[in-house]
């Protein structure tokens, strides 16, 4: 199951409510969701793939990826964070296959090489087949003391390359993250946001750790194959407590003797395309370190990102350095590169001042 419900506000103004980041064809002419889907070719048959995304994006997703038609598209009437997206999807899939083992992927990653990715994911399936009570996550070696990711404290070996997770710490403060980073990848990994588990094991964890969410999710699942599906979904889903699967399941599960939380290291190129500086890493660069995704004419310009979704629009700069310049037909962003994390705040201000016109 691929999660494709993010809003992508840190990639404004190109990422919009009508076409959020995971659906923009801005990585070599492909969207991040298309790339995530192609990454599964040869690993998971198309008939066993699902996508969970906003209901309002059903048409645009199914136009570019027809395999997600019918019940292979799991539509959320509104975003309620990852616990509910994953739990709702698991409950619906479990109605068709009570023994289902589900791999959860996200639609905003660049992962290479694909053959190594598939081998590592296959080993994760094997861990869950051997240990039905396992919650498997995939760990990335930290490249910085980032506070935006969850950290996996590794313990003893479990099976193959999998290690027991002694502690799951979601988004630590800067000092704690620095300590984890200095301890090294043999002790701490970033949580990639990709998981494998039995549907019934996950749902039991949600039942025990977040009983109110579980009750609502099961109401939706029970109505899924009835004429009341849409009515129950619209009534129940917006009332579910908004919380991530990391906080709601992974943290308490790492302390639960009934569950095995395991991490499989994923030592390959992994890029979470969640902001413009990370998008810049996917772009070709000129001799002055500028990342280019637009028609351009740059003079005395260094270490800047220039991007546009209008192929006829020219971006021309003189004497610029360390900037992010993003052009769209109705909004242009110019930002110092070291201020990229404040774009989310700008997105909020734009909404407050101009309504939904530029969102």
Domains, the chain: 2-272 (3.90.550.10), 276-354 (no CATH)
Averaged pLDDT, 186-200: 95
| 134: pLDDT strictly greater than 90 | yes
Residue 159, Cβ density class (10 Å: 0-12 exposed, 13-18 middle, ≥19 buried): middle
Give the model confidence (pLDDT) of 15-30 as tens digits.
999 999 999 999 989 9
Report the C-alpha gap between 212 and 266 in whole angstroms: 34
- Reading the block at residue 203, the tokens are 């749902």
DSSP 249-282: IIHHHTT-TT-EEEEEE--SEEEE--SHHHHHTT
Give the model confidence (pLDDT) of 117-129 as tens digits.
999 999 999 999 9
Contact 94, 184 (CB under 8 A): no
Give the model confidence (pLDDT) of 240-262 as tens digits.
999 999 999 999 999 999 999 99
| Strand-pair category, 291-293 with 305-308 | parallel
- Reading the block at residue 151, the tokens are 């950290």
φ/ψ of 79, rounded to 5, equals: -80, 130
| 220: pLDDT strictly greater than 90 | yes
| Strand-pair category, 323-327 with 332-336 | antiparallel
Give the model confidence (pLDDT) of 292-312 as tens digits.
999 999 999 999 999 999 999
**Mean pLDDT, the chain, integer:** 95
pLDDT score for 150: 86
Give the model confidence (pLDDT) of 75-116 as tens digits.
999 999 999 999 999 999 999 999 999 999 999 999 999 999
Tell me the whole-structure pTM to 2 decimals.
Answer: 0.92
pLDDT score for 213: 98
pLDDT score for 172: 87
């Amino acid at each position: 199951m691929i999660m494709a419900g993010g809003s992508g506000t840190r990639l404004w103004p190109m990422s919009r409510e009508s076409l959020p980041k995971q659906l923009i064809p801005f990585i070599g002419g492909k969207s991040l969701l298309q790339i995530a889907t192609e990454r599964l070719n040869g690993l998971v048959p198309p008939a066993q793939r699902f996508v969970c995304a906003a209901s309002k994006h059903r048409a645009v997703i199914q136009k570019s990826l027809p395999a997600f038609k019918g019940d292979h598209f799991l539509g959320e009437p509104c975003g309620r964070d990852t616990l509910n997206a994953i739990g709702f999807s698991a409950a619906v899939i479990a109605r068709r296959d009570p023994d289902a083992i589900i791999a959860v992927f996200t639609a905003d990653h660049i992962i290479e090489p694909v053959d190594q990715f598939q081998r590592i994911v296959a080993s994760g399936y094997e861990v869950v087949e051997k240990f039905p009570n396992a919650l498997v996550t995939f760990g990335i070696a930290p490249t910085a003391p980032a506070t935006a990711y969850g950290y996996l404290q590794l313990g003893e070996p479990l099976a193959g390359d999998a290690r027991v997770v002694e502690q799951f710490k979601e988004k630590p403060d800067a000092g704690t993250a620095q300590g984890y980073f200095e301890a090294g990848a043999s002790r701490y990994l970033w949580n990639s946001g990709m998981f494998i588990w039995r549907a019934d094991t996950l749902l039991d964890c949600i039942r025990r750790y977040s009983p109110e969410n579980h009750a609502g999710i099961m109401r939706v699942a029970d109505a899924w194959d009835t004429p009341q599906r849409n009515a129950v979904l619209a009534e129940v889903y917006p009332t579910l407590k908004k919380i991530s699967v990391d906080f709601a399941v992974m943290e308490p599960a790492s302390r639960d003797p009934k569950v095995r939380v395991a991490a499989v290291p994923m030592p390959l190129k992994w890029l979470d395309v969640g902001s413009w500086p990370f998008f810049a890493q996917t772009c070709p660069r000129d001799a002055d370190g500028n990342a280019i995704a637009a028609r351009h004419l740059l003079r005395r310009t260094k270490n800047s990102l220039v991007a546009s979704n209008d192929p006829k629009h020219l971006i021309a700069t003189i004497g610029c350095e360390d900037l992010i310049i993003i052009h769209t037909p109705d909004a242009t962003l110019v930002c110092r590169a070291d201020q990229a994390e404040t774009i989310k705040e700008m997105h909020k201000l734009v909404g407050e001042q101009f309504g939904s016109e530029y969102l």
